[in-house]
Amino acid sequence: MKLLVIGSGGREHALVWKLSQSSRVEKIYVAPGNGGMEGVERVDIKTHEIVALADFAEANGIGLTVVGPELPLSLGIVDEFKRRGLKVFGPEKLGAELEVSKVFAKEFMRRHNIPTADFSVVTDYVSGEEIIKSGKYGNPVVVKADGLARGKGSFVCKSDKEALIALDYLMNKRIFGNAGDSVVIERFLPGREISFTVVTDGSWIVPIVTSLDHKKAYDGDVGPNTGGMGAISPCPYVDASLYKKIMNEIIRPAVDGMMEEGRKFTGVLYAGLMLVEDGPKVLEFNVRFGDPETEAILLRLKSDLLDLLEAGANGDISGVKLDWNTKPSVDVVLASEGYPGKYKKGKEIAGLDNLTEDIIVFHAGTEFRDGKFYTSGGRVLNLASVGEDLTQARNKVYRAIEKIKFDGMYYRKDIGMGK
């Protein structure tokens, strides 16, 4: 079967890496992909060009398209493909709303009694100002743009003053355009943040092993929020009873709630959770695989990923059972100095050919030119491995990282070490 994978980051490299192990895969195209993806054919179509992507899939006999990032999902790529009878894995536009609109997600959770932070929705600056000044949600308070903002639309504000600045950016200065038409103002939840992923066909749920992202830029979990600086799997903070609770109180009601509302959800459902004293609460939903969680997760998957994604595209995953390596995995992101803010590109990367076989490299932001790799993104590389235990896996990865060099390279040295 010929596959098309859409996206260009570490997550997509991990998907390509895993899918290429399937005996049923004949060829993989990636649009647009990155310089480090081996054995695939890159296609020069952007992720938002959903009609061009469908045209490509049609013209090239693609048997299954796998969508990595949220942008094409938000634009209805799955609807477009299905309309043409093309097989595609991911939620339709109505389902993607769970990630695309924070207002929809919060009100959905309220309707279905899914635990989340108390909140208000405002559609103008003055009403937002009133709520913030009233102190209704205490301090700190969280201000979130309704729409997609490349992971930069949520502000955890230490004071009313900060919250008003965030509100002003979103609603008056409109730094994210329409995404700030509506804003969620919510209570800050203190606790440990984890992510929880399942695959569903709208009714059946296939569990995915747990993982833990590290969102803050610097060691000790400080600094600005990033797309993720590293991940481990399993998540050490989710035991069997918490796992069951999350399934019963969050995942199951969400999947059923979407169905009830005529938004049958097929694809990856990813819940960003805060483990608060009185239980897990949802910070947000994503409707696709996490990055870098996917890198850590797929390293542990023994089964053929194509079976799962194909069944998902066919709308029935009830026959799929996944086998997992019980050993833990660690994935560390190597980033460009300045990320998640401004950073330089085009730095030569050295050392990639000195790595041993048990280190898996997932490229996130690289280009390949004249036999050399160069940086082209904020997150540049992921180095990942599986170990007998977490410490061994971590040591392997960090030893390997010492061999890699590029100008301005930085990474967290405490992935998987807890706070």
Q: Which residues bind ligand ADP (CB under 6 A)?
A: 117, 142, 144, 151, 153-154, 156, 186, 188-189, 193, 215, 225, 272, 274, 283-284
151 versus 207: smaller Cβ distance to ligand ADP: 151
Q: How far apart are the first and last CA of the chain?
A: 45
| Nearest alpha carbon to residue 32 among 6, 51, 10 | 6
Q: How far is the CB of 284 from Mg ion (least distance, A)?
A: 5
Residues 63-102 that bind Mg ion (CB under 5 A): none
Distance CA(205)–CA(192), nearest Å, equals: 25
User: What number of H helices and E strands is found in the chain?
Assistant: 13, 24
Question: By CB under 5 A, which span of 125-133, 268-276, 293-301, 322-330 interacts with Mg ion?
Answer: 268-276
Q: How far is the CB of 209 from Mg ion (least distance, A)?
A: 20
226 versus 385: smaller Cβ distance to ligand ADP: 226
Q: How far is the CB of 97 from Mg ion (least distance, A)?
A: 16
Distance CA(55)–CA(325), nearest Å, equals: 38
Distance CA(419)–CA(407), nearest Å, equals: 28
215 versus 264: smaller Cβ distance to ligand ADP: 215
Q: How far is the CB of 144 from ligand ADP (least distance, A)?
A: 6
Distance CA(53)–CA(61), nearest Å, equals: 12
Q: Please state the φ and ψ torsions of residue 308, each to the nearest 5 degrees.
A: -70, -50
Contact 30, 42 (CB under 8 A): yes
Q: How far is the CB of 208 from ligand ADP (least distance, A)?
A: 19
Contact 219, 174 (CB under 8 A): no
In sequence order, which ranges of 44-196 are alpha helices (DSSP H)? Answer: 50-59, 70-74, 77-83, 93-100, 102-111, 125-134, 160-167
Q: How many Cα atoms occupy the beta-carbon half-sphere of 172 within 13 Å?
A: 11
Residue 189 contact, options Mg ion, ligand ADP, none, Cβ 5-8 Å cut-off depending on partner type: ligand ADP
103 versus 117: smaller Cβ distance to ligand ADP: 117
Residue 156 contact, options Mg ion, ligand ADP, none, Cβ 5-8 Å cut-off depending on partner type: ligand ADP
Q: How far is the CB of 145 from ligand ADP (least distance, A)?
A: 8
Q: How far is the CB of 14 from Mg ion (least distance, A)?
A: 19
Secondary structure (DSSP) of 266-293: -EEEEEEEEEETTEEEEEEEESS--TTH
39 versus 138: smaller Cβ distance to ligand ADP: 138
20 versus 120: smaller Cβ distance to ligand ADP: 120
221 versus 249: smaller Cβ distance to ligand ADP: 221
Residue 215 contact, options Mg ion, ligand ADP, none, Cβ 5-8 Å cut-off depending on partner type: ligand ADP
| Binding residues for Mg ion (CB under 5 A) | 272
